Structure 1
Amino acid sequence: ISTILGWSYFVAWSFSFYPQLFLNYQRKSAEGLTFDYVLLNVLGFGAYSIYTGSLYFSPFVRQLYREKVGGNPLVQQNDVGFAVHALVITSLTMVQCFYYASKLDRASASRALSLSRPVYYFVILATIFLACLCGLTAFNPQGYTLLLVYGFSAVKTLITFIKYVPQAWSNYRRRSTSGWSIGTCLADFAGGVFSIVQLFLDASIAGDFSGIRGNAPKLLLGVISLFFDVIFITQHYVLYR
């Protein structure tokens, strides 16, 4: 059952990126999609790929996890596959943004690719934070490698919360969800449910719910996604029909 749930969330969450990609292609425009959201998606899934890949593939990281947390990480193959696939597709969406912006006049292109000030400062601070952890890890791998891995997960978790806010605000300000694919939200919602259920099921089978704490980013990603999906679905079907 866990395997079915895992690959179900993989399919649902992976599919959630395609409606926006095809909507942009059909409209030959990324207008209505905030660049804050696009950039944060790429950075977030880059960080999540490093986090899941390290806990799944690295014997050294897995050993550190067993020593400090206990048991084996609950990161599954589908977690790594989802993270890498998401990074690829969100990167393609960013390429779309640059491509369609290149066909606009300079002022319009600048607006289309602009970052809000809070997001701009967040990216700088996150980069400094991870750079410091990388420096500490270089001097003391045994003491800081696992902390670095969780540093990437912390950045991803914060990004997941932050990235939805500009888009929700943009929809509210425009009183419209035009340019924002509702298919993305529906698939994302299904993926969030499958992901959370799988995590609790794996912990139950292992008889050790400390594994949920060890893979807290997966739980938080699911909960945060569900929260904002409800907001977007309400905007689309109730408020701005």
Structure 2
Amino acid sequence: MGFLELLSGFFGLAYFTAWSISFYPQGILNYRRKSTSGTVVDFHLINILGFTAYFASNVAFYYSSVIRAQYAARYKGLTPTASFSDITFAFHGILASVVTTSQYLFPRLWGFTPSLGNRPSRAILGVIYCSLLFIAVVVTIVMASPNHGSTDDLAVTSWVWLDVIYAVSYVKLVVTLIKYTPQVLFNYRNRSTKGWSILMILLDFSGGILSIAQQGIDSYIQRDWSGITGNPVKFALGNVSIIYDLIFIVQHYVLYRDSNAKQNEYDPLLASDEERR
């Protein structure tokens, strides 16, 4: 195994660790405050759908011989860049999101005081229902195609099972594009990020950088950038997350800095950070 392969593996482990840990600060902060005030359930609820889609698509890319053969037919014999760390990360994301979402939907079970952000918005529920409908439509189209199981040249031009996996993976992309928006707007309306864990954002930002770096290395090793175009969700996931993370960082450390001055009273995880500022 060469240096680049080792570096790719290290980056994979590093982003898996950063992103996995990032699921915990918000839940811990909620638990210590005995409240979810300052945040909305939309982010965590739609994360369940997003990571379920991400898990399913990566399992297919990694384990399914049919999907891998159809991918190779479309992309000049290359293999998908999905890794085992993607699968374990997605599965962990599902579990962590379910636990955190339960703090909002069942606050009394956790001993929390109910807050305004505990009910999902109609917009987020609409996205969830439309995403499921979209997948159902694509599955129907593929099943109607006589070549849906082809793994040769027909897989290039026909509707095949690979297209279903792409449909599922695009759900994750759509979720990532919108899931942060309700919280960004909530912070904007309140002129504060109190209750929203900035530590979660910093970890997410680090994971996004490392994820993009790993995929770039993997594509370079194969000497073909279709490693990115063939799995655009993983690449876009890192980029979109970084953009939103930067917005939250600006909100917390610049725009609403004064209103967050006593954040450490509620988030012991950030106490040392607040003391340094």
With normalisation by structure 2, the TM-score equals 0.82
Letter in 2 for 1:204: Y
Tell me how far apart the structure 2 counterparts of residues 122 and 96 of structure 1 sit (CA, whole Å).
Answer: 22
Tell me how far apart the structure 1 counterparts of residues 112 and 205 of structure 2 sit (CA, whole Å).
Answer: 34
Tell me how far apart the structure 1 counterparts of residues 26 and 112 of structure 2 sit (CA, whole Å).
Answer: 20
Q: Is 1:61–2:67 an aligned residue pair?
A: yes
Give the structure 1 partner of residue 79 of structure 2.
72
Helix, strand or coil: the match of 2:79? Answer: coil
> Which string of whole-angstrom CA distances, capped at 9 and with x for unpartnered residues, describes residues 59-83 of structure 1?
1111111112230001111111111
1:101 positional shift: 5.4
Letter in 2 for 1:209: W
Q: Is 1:92–2:99 an aligned residue pair?
A: yes
- After superposing the two structures, state which structure 1 stretch, 17-26 or 111-120, moved more: 111-120
Q: Is 1:187–2:203 an aligned residue pair?
A: yes
> Which string of whole-angstrom CA distances, capped at 9 and with x for unpartnered residues, describes residues 36-66 of structure 1?
1111111101110011111011111111111
Gaps of 5+ in 2: 1-6, 150-158, 258-277
Q: 2:176 aligns with which of 160, 171, 186?
A: 160
> Which string of whole-angstrom CA distances, capped at 9 and with x for unpartnered residues, describes residues 187-236 of structure 1?
00000000000000111111111111011101100000000000001101
The answer (yes or no) to whether the contact 2:38–2:195 under 8 Å persists in 1 is yes
Sequence identity percentage: 39
The answer (yes or no) to whether the contact 1:177–1:236 under 8 Å persists in 2 is yes
- Higher RCO, 1 vs 2 (CA within 8 Å, ≥6 residues apart): 1
Aligned length: 238
Q: How does 1:14-93 map to 2 (within 5 A)?
A: 14-70=20-76, 71-93=78-100
Please state which structure has a larger fraction of its residues in helix. Answer: 1
Give the structure 1 partner of residue 129 of structure 2.
124
Give the structure 2 partner of residue 230 of structure 1.
246
Give the structure 1 partner of residue 262 of structure 2.
none
* C-alpha RMSD of matched pairs (Å): 1.7
Tell me how far apart the structure 2 counterparts of residues 138 and 31 of structure 1 sit (CA, whole Å).
Answer: 46
With normalisation by structure 1, the TM-score equals 0.93
Give the structure 2 partner of residue 211 of structure 1.
227
CA distance 1:124–1:172, shift in 2 (3 Å): same
Q: Is 1:202–2:248 an aligned residue pair?
A: no
